[in-house]
Structure 1
Amino acid sequence: MNKTAYSKTLALLMAAGMLLSGCILDTVNETDNDGLAPDVEIDLGPVEIITTDGCDNLNPLHCMLPFPSNAFLTADTSTETGYKVNYASNTLPSSGTTSNVEILDLNRFDGFSPSTQIMTAFTTVPNLTGVANQHSIATSLSDGHATVLLNLKNGERVAHWVELDDRATNPSATIVFMRTLGALDTNTTYGVAFIGLTDLSGNPITPSPAMQAIIDGDETTSPDIESRRDEIEAFIGSHLDAYDLISVKAAWVFHTASSQSILSDISTMRSDALTRLGEDGIGCTVTSSEDNYGDDDKLYRRIRGTFTAPQYLESQNPPALLVRGNDSLPQYVEDSEIPFTMVIPQVLADLNESGPLVVFGHGFLGTGEG
């Protein structure tokens, strides 16, 4: 190529470069006032969430947190609520002697107990200053309160207080309890939220990765989370709209059991027992009677003995399971002798009056000694 031809070629290339540069610059100016190339969104795919079957994967700190949660319910059209509890063999925590505890009878219920404890945990201990405690429960009903317990059937807030687990030994998984004044309504959906919390150092509490993905509207790899996304998003969008979305630290939904589901066992045993007892009862045997027991003139008499009662357990020695028939309801086994101790206060004897019967007992009521 001679010098003249080379010069013409170079000029053409420079001109083309200038034209192309102008075109590119014009395009940038039309799309970005700063003269910079617009941001390009890169699809990184679903958010990776470690998922364990049988657990609530909304909180990675413990299989059963948060609790109670619809993660442990499955749809069942045969029940009054439309749900049934669905704990897997790995759901319940170890008892200290076994790696996992499996209580199959819990899966008979069609929701959670209205008197259940509500709890969750965060990676750092939250500062509960200003959050409702047992002395300021009314503040939990105020707009803007850091915790929300909402009846999703009627839209009403439920009074509660919040406290940390005093027995915690691991600060990174300290249980945070939300306690109610009374039982919740049966067969009702509730929403729980913790909002705007900071830790003891003043740093914002960090939502779990799954919770953050729901807040950000990002899809996750967890079928468990995706199956409940709509109900959690609906709760946040419809009932937490007064709060800044980015301040939500935890939110979930659960459904309580029906009265029929909760009371069916005890109602069945009561009806059967009353029929067997009849109007006169089955029997009672007094084995001892001691006047002025304790020699302090406070107890007129201590009476010990046994009473006969229908038994519905596999064994009279706790812990024991109920024996169930083909209809899954408790089934009568036999009559058993139950030990008891009765004390009559001296004041009733002095006044020659009867008084109300008070039963002292806890759990399986012990041995009846007293």
Structure 2
Amino acid sequence: MLHRLLRGLLAAALAAAALLAPDAPAAEAAGPSGPGCDPLAPAECLLPFPNDWYTRPDPATDTGRRVSFGAATLPPAAAGRPVDPTAWNRSDGFSPGSTLIAHVPGLDPAATGTAPLTDIGRSLAPDAPVVLIDTRTGERWPYWAEADANATDPARRALLIHPARNFRDGHRYAVALRHLKDGAGRTIPAAEPFAAVAGRPLPAGHPLYARQRQLRPALKALHRAGVGSEGTYLAWDFTVASTRSLTGDLFTVRDDAFRRLGDRSPAFAVTGVTDFTAEQAPRIAREVTGRISVPGYLDLPGGPPGSVLHRGHDGLPRRLPGSSQLAEFRCEIPRSAFRTPSHPALYGHGLLGRRSEVGAGNVKAMAAEHNFTFCATDWIGMAEEDVPVVLGALADPNLFPAVPERSEQGMLNALFLARALIHADGLTTDAAFRDADGRLLLDLRHGIGYDGNSQGGILGGALVAASPDIRRGVLGVTGMNYGLLLNRSVDFAPFQQVLDLSYPDKLRQQIVLQLFQMVWDRGETNAYANHLTDRHQVLMHIAYGDHQVANAAADVEARTIGARLITPVLAPGRSPDTVPYWGIRTVASGRLPYRGSAMTVWDSGTPTPPLTNTPPAGPVYGHDPHSDPRNSPAARQQKATFLTTGRVINVCGNTPCTAAPTS
């Protein structure tokens, strides 16, 4: 059904974008920076990115700075409507997972010796041509760098620098590009503006005087790290948003909603109970549907698609007076629950999906094999009904804040469902959650778990981080962040068509994706990752060669949250990396069970994914293993033990974990 809906809406979106595109060609034409843009990068405004040139001092924020995009700074789409920077300017810094973007005409990364995805360790070499420095600690930061493989104009090809683990919340980083080479091995000289700024002090009246003063602390930090100005092509600095800036919206909504709730259960109504015979459903005995009443924090009553958070004069989210969100839910109760009370758990559905995915075969198998009752609600903001808004946002970024902000209401809906499931006066007071003798079908003694796949894994880390009730979560075929994932996912292909019409220039597209990530952070794991495992445990299940959620993004997440890698991982020679899973600490199979957060890689024999920022599309990449881990009985056993005991067990013996390919 989603695919049919997507095809219809995509056709409409493409037609609309095609009509709009000719109306404003000047908005998309490649040209020099305008007023307010960084004079160090005349090819395109907002470059290099992220960049403290686009912030201002603000003593009221945790970083002492605030993003300050001007009214004409953000690139308009082909429709030509200016992009309102308000949602971006709420931040006191940039995304902790931000890809750094620079434009270096003629650059040859291989000749330069930049660290590729297969050799992240090279990024920390003393002579590395790209240097990232945490200016607070002096620490060199790991990354991989690549030329944008999607660029159609070599003269407009972006250099993309991806942090190998997220930058620290609230810290400032200095960046240097040095000793860069072209395809013939010739050194690329610094552009004239940077050469002037990095040189002798400029007089107060010079056009670059302000830029030189602003950049001076970054150049000093680089100098202390042994990076001088000689041979440097470009340098700049940026501030990462603080934890409060990144998580404040969701935590404000959560805290207010649970304060209102007090020690009560959320109000609920059971709307349907279906009992199945063993012949109808051998694994599931009962399906229960209903709705939970949740305070509404979106700006339109009922919070329909396209809503954003209702905010007070202080800019913080506030409940819309009198507004409630009715979160529809569905629960699958296994037959085993009628013998022994089952473990309650939330299930997180996939990309732009629905709560009905809790009825998928793999979820029913997990429920039946390990006595779980799984319940799900639509992850509004990224649910099927939000597809028109997501497509529209690619044509007009003014619509984009609705995606993460409605997702935050969706997370609150799930948090209230979790509370209703485990509260003594909650759902278990209804006959739907008891057997014919009135005995409870849920075991309320050990809290509630979370299991999500794909989008349910990508957003699920934020849900786990925010939950007062969930202590452990399984993030299946997961990764972060969308700004890194989209270029590398086959799922993005239909959306890419709209983006191509809205932003034909590929260099500008990369900027737009990172701008999206700045506000998307608040509604996905990326913003919460640096502190996700402070109080919670997560188990990541990864499909090697995943066509939909790139392994590179999962590795960044594992490094950031401190997840231990379960070994052995892959068969010898399977990985193209110089040091496979560089920077991820391991747990040998003989030292299991392990108590903590971990990552298990499941190999279905799929070819290694591309080493560029492109999706594994086409026959050469074989079977998509995206669904294989969840369909593996061994993987389900590992998940169940983790959710119920907090222990990561050895389910693969002394060999790498494998999963049979599923159709």
Q: Normalized against structure 1, the TM-score is what? A: 0.74
CA pair 276-256 structure 1, distance change in 2 beyond 3 A: same
Q: Pick from 76, 82, 86: which aligns with 1:100?
A: 82
Q: Which sits farther off after the overlay, 340-349 or 90-99?
A: 340-349
Task: Give distance in 2, aligned partners of 1:297 and 1:201.
Answer: 67
Task: Give distance in 2, aligned partners of 1:328 and 1:318.
Answer: 21
1:102 aligns to what SS in structure 2? coil
Q: Pick from 225, 249, 261: which aligns with 2:211?
A: 225
1:88 positional shift: 0.5
Q: Pick from 268, 291, 299: which aligns with 1:314?
A: 299
Q: Is structure 2 residue 126 aligned with structure 1 residue 148?
A: no
1:164-211, CA deviations, whole angstroms, 9 ceiling, x for partnerless residues?
222222221211111112221122111111111112343333433211
1:101 positional shift: 1.0
Q: Is structure 2 residue 34 aligned with structure 1 residue 52?
A: yes
Q: Pick from 189, 198, 209: which aligns with 1:215?
A: 198
Q: Is structure 2 residue 105 aligned with structure 1 residue 119?
A: no
For 2:118, give the aligned amino acid.
H
Q: Is structure 2 residue 265 aligned with structure 1 residue 280?
A: yes
1:300 positional shift: 7.7
CA pair 58-355 structure 1, distance change in 2 beyond 3 A: farther
CA contact (8 A) 1:141 1:157 kept: yes
1:252 positional shift: 0.6
Structure 2 gaps of 5+ residues are 1-31, 330-354, 388-663
CA contact (8 A) 1:161 1:178 kept: yes
Task: Give distance in 2, aligned partners of 1:296 and 1:202.
Answer: 66
Task: Give distance in 1, aligned partners of 2:56 and 2:171.
Answer: 15
1:157 positional shift: 0.5
1:15-66, CA deviations, whole angstroms, 9 ceiling, x for partnerless residues?
xxxxxxxxxxxxxxxxxxxxxxxxxxxxxxxxxxx87333222111211111
1:148-170, CA deviations, whole angstroms, 9 ceiling, x for partnerless residues?
11111111111111112222222
Task: Give distance in 2, aligned partners of 1:302 and 1:133.
Answer: 49
Within 5 A, what are the aligned runs for 1:1-370?
52-129=34-111, 130-217=113-200, 219=202, 220-241=206-227, 245-278=229-262, 279-286=264-271, 306-315=291-300, 316-333=303-320, 334-340=323-329, 341-342=355-356, 343-344=358-359, 345-351=363-369, 353-354=371-372, 364-367=382-385
Root mean square deviation, CA, Å: 3.2
2:372 aligns to what SS in structure 1? coil
CA pair 352-218 structure 1, distance change in 2 beyond 3 A: closer
Task: Give distance in 2, aligned partners of 1:317 and 1:148.
Answer: 45
Structure 1 gaps of 5+ residues are 1-49
1:79-128, CA deviations, whole angstroms, 9 ceiling, x for partnerless residues?
22221111101111123323431231321222222222221112224333
1:339 positional shift: 4.3
1:128 aligns to what SS in structure 2? helix
CA contact (8 A) 1:125 1:171 kept: no
1:298 positional shift: 8.5
Correspondence for 2:391: none
For 1:272, give the aligned amino acid.
D
1:71 positional shift: 0.3
2:133 aligns to what SS in structure 1? strand
1:351 positional shift: 3.1
1:308 positional shift: 2.8
Count matched residues.
316
Task: Give distance in 2, aligned partners of 1:360 and 1:181.
Answer: 32
Correspondence for 1:21: none
Task: Give distance in 1, aligned partners of 2:370 and 2:168.
Answer: 44
CA pair 157-71 structure 1, distance change in 2 beyond 3 A: same
Correspondence for 1:9: none
> Percent of aligned positions with the same letter in both sequences?
25
Q: Normalized against structure 2, the TM-score is what? A: 0.43
CA contact (8 A) 1:312 1:323 kept: yes
Structure with the bigger percentage of helix: 2
